[in-house]
A and B are shown apart, each in its own frame.
Chain A
Amino acid sequence: MSQPTPATGPAAALELRDVAKAFGAVVALRSGSLRVEAGSIHALVGENGAGKSTLVKIVAGVHRRDAGELLLDGRSMDFGSTAESKAEGIAVIYQEPTLFPDLSVTENIFMGRQPVGAGRRIDRAAMHTEAEQLFRRLGVHIDPRRPALGLSIADQQIIEIAKAISLDARVLIMDEPTAALSGVEVERLFAVARSLRDEGRALVFISHRFDEVFDLCDTITVMRDGSYVDAVRTADTDVDSIVAMMVGREVGDLFPKTPAEIGETVLKVEGLSSTGEFHDVSFEVRAGEIVGLAGLVGAGRSEIARAVFGVDRYDAGSVTLAGRSVKPHDPRSAIRAGMAFVPEDRRKQGLVTESSVARNISGVIRGGLARAGLLTGAAESRSAAPWAGRLEVKTGALDMNAATMSGGNQQKVVIAKWLATNPRLLIIDEPTRGIDVGTKAEVHRLLSELAGQGMAILMISSELPEVLGMADRVLVVCEGRITADIPRDEATPENVMRAATRSSQEAAS
C-alpha cells in the first residue's frame, strides 16, 4: 500500500484533488482532497462546516464542482446527476436516509432496477427473495414486504446499505451513519462495513465519534474550513493530534465580546425532556450573559431552543423567565414573557421574504401599531426606521423586498424584528451562518452590545471559534444531553470538542 497522501501513487478507487465549490458568495469547499484505496475504510473528519458534506455531494453528483479533479480508478469523472455517479458504482448513505415511505422495503432497494420477467413485468417473487438474501447476508431481520414507513434510522441505513450492495457499489460513502444508532446497531453496521472492505470495496466513513473512527478506519483525512489538512494512517496517530488538526487555528480577537456585568437569572430551564430529541436538560442564562450552546449538528441544540421558545412540545420539565413560568408549546406566551427567537434558517422561519423590510421589522409588534385595527404603511415605517438605522441594515429603502437582501442584512432584519419587542432573552440559532466575514463581525458586535445592556443571550453555534469568542459560558450538548458547562476562561477547542463527541465512549476524561 502506498502512502495515503493525495496526488501520489497508483490510481486509487476514489480520488479528489483540490475540489472547490461555492454557493453564491459562500464558499462551502475551498480545496477538498481525498484519496481512498480499494479494500480500505477511510475516515473523513472535520468540524461542522468543514466541507465534508459538500465534498460527499460532489462525489454523489448532487452538486457540480467549480474546480478540481474527481477520479475513479484514475479516470476523470464529471457527474451531472446522481444517476451518473450511481452508474459508476458510487453509493452514498446520507445522514438522513432517503427512502420512499409509501413503498415496501424491497421496492426501496430495487427501484428502477427491479428484476423483470416476460414483457418486462416486475417479478415480485424474485425481488422479495433477493431482498431476503441481502438481509441474510447482512445478518439482519427486516421483513422485505413491509413498508419503509416507520423503520428505525438503523434499519433505514441497513436498507441503504442493502441497496448499495445490490448495486455492487465499488465506493460506499457513509455520512455520519452512527449518529442515531445504539451500541448494538453500531456493531452490526461495522461488521457489515468490514466485510464490504474485505470484498475489496472502498468505504468512506464520516463521523464525529473518534472512538468509532479509530476502531473502524484504516486511514483518516482531516478537513478544516473547506480545505484538506492532512491524511494519516490510523495506526500512526491518536485522538489528540486529530482534534488539533481539526481545530487548527487560533481563536483570534475577531469576536469582540466585551465583559458585561452579569445580573440576576433571566432564563431558568429545568429537567426539559422530549422523547427522541433531548433528555433532562437544565441550565440558566443570566442578564448580561451570553451562553453558547455548542455541539455537533443533530446533537439536539436547536431542538432545545425551539422547545424553550415554545415552538416544539416537550414531555417534561419547565421553563421560567424572570421568575415567571412560561407556558409550554405557546410561542405567544414566550414572546409576552420577553423571549425573542432568531431561528437557524432565517429564510424559512424568520423572514417574510416577499414583504418589505419595514413590514418584517414591525411584524411581531404589529398588534401594538395598529390604529383602529388598521395597519398603515407609514406606521410600519416609522416604527422600523430606528431599528434599521441602529443595526445598519444596508437596504435602499425600508420598503424594499427582504428577499433581495444579502444574508447578513437579512439576519439584521430578523434581529431588528425581535429587538422591537424589547426582549429580556434573545435566543439566536446560528447567528452568522452564510454571512460574509465583515457582516459577521457586525452581528457579533451587536450581540455583545445587547448583552452589555443587560439582555440575556442564548447563542447556538456550530462554529467553534464563534462560541469560544462570544460566550461567557459554553454548554456542550451531545446526543440530547448537556455534557459540559465550561466557563469562558476554561473553554478551549479541545475540551469543547471532546465533550461534544463523548458519545458512547465511557468517561472520556
Chain B
Amino acid sequence: MSDTSTTHALGHDAAVDRLVEPSRQSPARRWFDTVVRSREMSILLVLIALITVTTVKQPNFLFSANSWRDLLLTPAILLILAAGQAVVIITRNVDLSVGSVLGFTAYLTGRMFIDFPGIPIVAVIAIGVLAGGLLGLVNGMLVSFGRVPALVITLGTLYIYRGIVLTWAGSNRINAGDLPKDFLRLGTRSVLGIPILFLVAVVVVAAVGYYLYSHRGGRELYAIGSDPDAAVLYGLRVRRRVLSAFVLSGALAGLAGVLHAARYGTVSSAAGVNIELEAVAAVVIGGVAIFGGSGTVWGAAIGAILLVTIDRALPILGIPDFWQRAVVGVLILGAIVLDRVLSARQARKLIEARDDS
C-alpha cells in the first residue's frame, strides 16, 4: 500500500527484535541490553571520560588525598536533591522549590542548635526532614488539588519559602561556632575513605531507586507520568501518588538542608539559591524524560555527579568561566535532544515492526 514506509523496513533486524521480542533473548543478554545500552551507562561513560581527561592533564585531580574526597563529597547534597527531583519529574511534574526548602531547613538546623543547646543531632536531622516534608506537602496539595501546573506552583513556593527564610534570618547567619563539633564532623569525616555525606546520598539514591523499580507505588509513579489520563481511567490514586512524590522531594530537600549546614558550617539566608535548577539539570542530563514516565534515579545521580565534576574539571582544563556555564547548557540541550531522538527512533522501529508483521 504505502511504498514509502517499506524502504525503512529491512525485515527483522536485531535491534527491532530486542524491542519487540525481548523474551526470546536469554536472561543474560536481556540484562546486558538493559544495562549496557542504557542512558545511564552512556552518561557514566561521559563522566569517566571527563575524569580521565582531567586527570591526564592534572594528575592531582584524582590522585591526591583531598581530591578523591572532593570528588565524592561535593556532589553529595545535589545527589540527594536530584533523587527527589527525579521522582517528581517521573510523575510529569517538577519541584522548583527545593532550593528554598534547603535554605529553610539549613537555617532551621542552626537555630535548633543555638536555641536548644544539647539537642541530639538525630532529633535535629529528623526535624529538618519533617519540616522539608511539610513544605513538600504544601506543594503537593496545591499541585494535586489546585490543578495548576507544578511549574507555576513550585515557582510560587520557591519565592514564598525563600521569603520566609529571609524574614526569619534577616542578616543573621549561622556560624560554625554555633554548631556542635560532632555535627560538623558529619559533614567532613570519612569512613574507609568515603565521606559520610556521600554514603548518606548513596543510601538515599539506593532506597529511592529500589522503591521506584520494585514497589507498586514506584511503578504507579511511572504510569502516572507516562499517561496521566490513562492512570485515572485505570483507577490509580493519581492525586495521592503525586502528593507523596512532592512530600518525598520536600523531605529529601529538608535532609539536604541539614547536611548543608553540617558540610559548610555557615548558613546565610541565601543557602541553596539556584540549586533547584542544578537538580533539574542533573535529572534531565541523567536521562529522566522531562515529560515523565521514564528514566531512573540512578541516571539522575550520575547526572548530578557529572554536573558537579564538570564545574571542578573545566577550570583545570583551562576553559574560561563563561564557557563553563555554556558547557552545562550544551549538556542539558544535548540530553534533551538525545532523549527526543532516541524515543522517536524507538517509536519508529516499533511501528515499523508492527507494520511488517
Residue of A nearest to B30 (CB): A145
Closest beta carbon of chain A to B291's beta carbon, Å: 10
Asked whether A275 is an interface residue with its Cβ less than 8 Å from the other chain, the reply is yes
What is the CA–CA distance of A320 and B181 in the complex, to the nearest angstrom? 83
Given known contacts A111-B223, A120-B216, A152-B354, A99 and B230 CB-to-CB distance under 8 angstroms: yes
What is the CA–CA distance of A132 and B24 in the complex, to the nearest angstrom? 13
Query: Are B232 and A82 neighbours in the complex by a CB distance under 8 Å?
Result: yes
What is the CA–CA distance of A147 and B23 in the complex, to the nearest angstrom? 12
Asked whether B346 is an interface residue with its Cβ less than 8 Å from the other chain, the reply is yes
Q: CB-defined interface of A84-110 with B at 8 Å, one 1/0 digit per residue? A: 111100001010001111110001000
Asked whether A137 is an interface residue with its Cβ less than 8 Å from the other chain, the reply is no
Residue of A nearest to B24 (CB): A143
Given known contacts A111-B236, A150-B351, A152-B354, A143 and B5 CB-to-CB distance under 8 angstroms: no
- Give residues of chain B (257-300) contacting chain A, Cβ–Cβ below 8 Å: 289, 293-294
Chain A residues within 8 Å of B156, by CB:
none
Chain B residues within 8 Å of A132, by CB:
23
What is the CA–CA distance of A86 and B21 in the complex, to the nearest angstrom? 31
Inter-chain CB contacts under 8 Å: number? 108
What is the CA–CA distance of A131 and B323 in the complex, to the nearest angstrom? 52
Chain A residues within 8 Å of B215, by CB:
120-122
Given known contacts A122-B216, A315-B2, A103 and B226 CB-to-CB distance under 8 angstroms: yes
Query: Are B293 and A101 neighbours in the complex by a CB distance under 8 Å?
Result: yes
Asked whether A52 is an interface residue with its Cβ less than 8 Å from the other chain, the reply is no
- Give residues of chain B (230-256) contacting chain A, Cβ–Cβ below 8 Å: 230-237
Query: Are A147 and B19 neighbours in the complex by a CB distance under 8 Å?
Result: yes
Closest beta carbon of chain A to B174's beta carbon, Å: 40
Given known contacts A147-B19, A150-B347, A111 and B293 CB-to-CB distance under 8 angstroms: no
Residue of B nearest to A154 (CB): B354
What is the CA–CA distance of A482 and B173 in the complex, to the nearest angstrom? 76
Asked whether A146 is an interface residue with its Cβ less than 8 Å from the other chain, the reply is yes
Count of chain A residues near B, Cβ 8 A: 41
Query: Are B354 and A151 neighbours in the complex by a CB distance under 8 Å?
Result: yes
Given known contacts A149-B347, A150-B351, A275-B2, A103 and B232 CB-to-CB distance under 8 angstroms: no
Asked whether B229 is an interface residue with its Cβ less than 8 Å from the other chain, the reply is yes
Indicate the size class of the contact surface on chain B.
35 or more
B20, B24, B216, B222: which contacts A103 (Cβ < 8 A)?
Answer: B222
Query: Are B219 and A122 neighbours in the complex by a CB distance under 8 Å?
Result: yes
Given known contacts A122-B219, A150-B347, A98 and B20 CB-to-CB distance under 8 angstroms: no
What is the CA–CA distance of A128 and B23 in the complex, to the nearest angstrom? 9
Closest beta carbon of chain B to A267's beta carbon, Å: 26
Asked whether A81 is an interface residue with its Cβ less than 8 Å from the other chain, the reply is yes
What is the CA–CA distance of A60 and B235 in the complex, to the nearest angstrom? 10
Q: CB-defined interface of B12-23 with A at 8 Å, one 1/0 digit per residue? A: 000000011111
Chain A residues within 8 Å of B234, by CB:
82, 98, 111-112
Closest beta carbon of chain A to B292's beta carbon, Å: 8
Asked whether B26 is an interface residue with its Cβ less than 8 Å from the other chain, the reply is no
Chain B residues within 8 Å of A122, by CB:
214-216, 219
Query: Are A112 and B230 neighbours in the complex by a CB distance under 8 Å?
Result: no
Closest beta carbon of chain A to B347's beta carbon, Å: 6
Known interface pairs A87-B235, A107-B223, A149-B350; 5 further A-B residue pairs with C-beta atoms within 8 A, sorted by A's residue number: A103-B219, A103-B293, A114-B216, A146-B20, A315-B2
Which residues in B have some Cβ–Cβ distance to A below 8 Å? 1-2, 4-5, 19-24, 30, 214-216, 219-220, 222-223, 225-227, 229-237, 289, 293-294, 346-347, 349-351, 353-354
Which residues in A have some Cβ–Cβ distance to B below 8 Å? 60-62, 81-87, 92, 94, 98-103, 107, 111-114, 116, 120-122, 128, 132, 143-147, 149-152, 155, 275, 315
20 contacts between A and B (CB under 8 A): A61-B235, A86-B235, A92-B233, A98-B229, A98-B233, A100-B222, A100-B226, A102-B225, A111-B219, A111-B234, A111-B236, A112-B216, A113-B216, A114-B219, A122-B216, A145-B23, A149-B350, A150-B351, A150-B353, A151-B350
